[in-house]
Structure 1
Amino acid sequence: MTVRRSRRKQEEPDLGILSSRTLFSLQRQLFETLAQQGHPGLRPRHGAVLAYLDEEGSRATDLATQSGQHKQVIGTLVDELVELGYVERQPDPADRRAKLIVPTEKGRDHMVKSDAILAAMEAEHAKAVGEEAYTAFKRVFKLVAERQTGGSALAE
């Protein structure tokens, strides 16, 4: 039975398989390109912080919520990114007890480059399948992702 299920999954992959294939392929291409552009020390796990980081800084609790990671995981990743020179901790002017995770010059360079790389990847996909189909795909995929995570993309 395992072979039949496996063969069926290959022919008609479910949402989990399609999502993971897309994520892992996207991460591989993104981080390989970033390494070529001067950011070789970053790993896909760092995306849990860097993908959600505001230029003005973000609280670790907000990064944890947005990325779906535990606060302890975010703390470890922030420690690694501080050591790599991508972020620094600064006092939050709105709450002296809290710290903001703020991108450094190197972190902002990464943010600009990763945005450009991802935009180019999306443009390639849109060209391959057609602008209209890609726009519809992203809209539907966003709705599914929001529904899956309990968000409300329907309100947008």
Structure 2
Amino acid sequence: MSRPRPRTAGRERPTNLAVLMREAFIALNDLVLTRLAERGHGDVRAAHGAVFQYLDETGTTVSELADRAQITKQAMAELVIHLESRGYLVREPDPRDRRAKLVRPTDRGREVVAIAQDLVPDLEERIAAALGAERVEALREDLETVRRIARS
């Protein structure tokens, strides 16, 4: 899907590395969302990745999910409520802290994670076919370096 570029001073803004990395992520994520829709999970949206990506199988609090996803607790709670109402998640008391609730995937939620993870080898093969194995390995190393630099 083509997305219009923002404009500043009447011209399209230049595309920097961060924008290119985000746009590549969005393109790959769109493939995952298409696969999910094909398998009966059309109500899962891109924003829900912030939940599924950071959710532990044994359960995770909304606060921890929000911290991991770097979004507000309120925003994460809204995502959890949406997914819970559609049968992807349940909230249960945390046995270690009676005040807290753990968010856990249901069978339907685990299916979403499995579908997304099953697509990873196909996506990586497609990228390797386009770039070549050596460039993919270099890309992986470069992205790790970028992540390390950004955290320091």
Give the TM-score range, shorter chain.
0.7 to 0.9
1:27-71: per-residue Cα shift (whole Å, max 9, x none)? 211101110012111100111101111111111122111111111
**May I ask how many residue pairs the two structures share in their alignment?**
145
Q: CA RMSD in A?
A: 2.0
Structure 1: how far apart are the matches of 2:134 and 2:58?
34
2:138 is aligned with 1:133: no
Question: Which residue matches 2:111?
Answer: 109
Structure 1: how far apart are the matches of 2:112 and 2:61?
19
Q: CA deviation at 1:142?
A: 2.7
Question: Which residue matches 2:123?
Answer: 121
- For the residue of structure 2 that corresponds to 1:109, the secondary structure is helix
1:96-145: per-residue Cα shift (whole Å, max 9, x none)? 22111100000001110111113321221122212222122122213313
Q: Given the two structures, how large is their TM-score scaled by the length of structure 1?
A: 0.83
Counterpart of 1:50 in structure 2: which amino acid? Answer: F
**4+ residue runs of structure 1 moved beyond 3 angstroms?**
none
Structure 1: how far apart are the matches of 2:97 and 2:149?
33
Structure 2: how far apart are the matches of 1:23 and 1:91?
34
Question: Which residue matches 2:71?
Answer: 69
For 1:28, which of 20, 27, 30 is the aligned residue? 30
For 1:43, which of 45, 49, 54 is the aligned residue? 45
Q: CA deviation at 1:20?
A: 2.4
- For the residue of structure 1 that corresponds to 2:60, the secondary structure is coil
**Cα distance, 1:38–1:119 mapped onto 2, change above 3 Å:** same
Gap runs ≥5 in structure 1: none
Structure 2: how far apart are the matches of 1:142 and 1:73?
28
Q: Given the two structures, how large is their TM-score scaled by the length of structure 2?
A: 0.85
Task: Give runs of aligned pairs for residues 8-23 of structure 1, distance below 5 A.
Answer: 9=14, 13-23=15-25
